[in-house]
Structure 1
């Protein structure tokens, strides 16, 4: 049986495996609802949203990314590597392995993960992690506007009509859409541009639940390589696991 991997986020647990190179999701639930039979079969996990005590209760002695840092071919920039998010490490590992498997040539890259927060990390062609940054994700921005005000509604992403060039609106809901959602998209487009032009990366990897959505709004005339894969954390866990 192919090994199972767990991506523990701030509110959800994704359990998946790789089958012939494709990610097969077996469970995607909140922390309380994850099936116990899957939890007991997980071979490696990334945990950014669960206490260590709770992790051990649910997953037993299953190792995490932080337990296997010495296996990694990457030279992490953080002075204390265990302060670097396990999901970020897994995503970088997946991008590094992608270069070797798909292209058979190492190249510098940026890895951007669109989750509760947006994380960016840059790695050079020799596997040296140059550093990264963390910003608020789109959903948290929308929730903040709604929760910390008396009268601002919550924007439903299914009803949102993003316009990268939009700037003005004539009602409150549309003003939030244009200001927060479209503003977020403009920020990410510029963010990717900085990775290419200021840091000279050869390709940018987008991952996380909103990565495919973000990809729809990227300039079509930009021929630089942008790779979208929502499951890079799972792929990275598999890559770390197979290092032995």
Structure 2
């Protein structure tokens, strides 16, 4: 059992939702909380209830209100903002790390803490991890590739499911505003189902296509899924994958742990 100072609070502020969780060492304890800009008191309760002294946040939208950062820092908390100045647990050949999305940095870091899915059950991990394609299916879908030497090679950004459906309505004269639903069959049998097949299953086919092409270069490639639409992908993919709902949060904890270890 760790002490109170081993409790880390990680905060992920996305385009659509903000999430927070507490980790004890490398294990998430308690549920993930989802909150709005008006509900930072919920996050502060986590700090108080768990005696948190180390906090990290990432954001692709707004930063935490200064009121709460000031309170935590005055309570002797270390508060880190994920950014290009932090030492990461992987190397990179990406040429614009200063503009690489913080959510993408976090999922890559989180992927490094996951044992290989290709080893037989119960076999300890004794060698380097395989290459991995990490798909974060959210407002946008991001595809990020890290090789077996823990070098980040880059990735792709694509419109997410709802963005695809909304764009087809917004940028045409007559295509309807169609909400996501479970598309069946291989092709659409109506305008609404054709939109869903293109907008939703298009993400599935893009994921499969990129995975199969990269697999030719990296035969041991593993596919990791995360994000709000990961469950939809998981139900439709025809290639092997593993599902990790809290990969961004785990990655933030990995980066914070790496920072604390290097500073101690």
TM-score scaled by structure 1? 0.82
Partner of residue 66 from structure 1, selected from 83, 105, 113? 83
Residues 196-216 of structure 1 deviation map (CA, whole Å, 9 limit, x = unaligned): 234445312111111122011
RMSD (CA atoms): 2.7
Give the match for residue 223 of structure 2: 204
CA 1:25/1:139 → structure 2, altered by over 3 Å: closer, same or farther? Answer: farther
Give the match for residue 182 of structure 1: 201
Q: Decide whether the 8 Å contact of 1:23 with 1:235 is kept in 2.
A: no
Deviation at 1:124, TM superposition (A): 1.4
Give the match for residue 19 of structure 2: 14
CA 1:124/1:15 → structure 2, altered by over 3 Å: closer, same or farther? Answer: same
Partner of residue 95 from structure 2, selected from 79, 95, 120? 79
Distance (Å, rounded) in 1 between the aligned partners of 2:144 and 2:137: 12
Matches within 5 A, 1:163-182: 163=184, 166-169=186-189, 171-182=190-201
Give the match for residue 247 of structure 2: 232
Point out where structure 2 has 5 or more consecutive residues left out of the alignment.
48-53, 74-78, 117-123
Point out where structure 1 has 5 or more consecutive residues left out of the alignment.
none
Q: Decide whether the 8 Å contact of 1:43 with 1:63 is kept in 2.
A: yes
Distance (Å, rounded) in 2 between the aligned partners of 1:201 and 1:110: 11
Give the match for residue 116 of structure 1: 139
Deviation at 1:78, TM superposition (A): 2.3
Q: Decide whether the 8 Å contact of 1:212 with 1:229 is kept in 2.
A: no
Distance (Å, rounded) in 1 between the aligned partners of 2:68 and 2:211: 36
TM-score scaled by structure 2? 0.76
Q: Which one is further off, 143-152 or 230-239?
A: 143-152
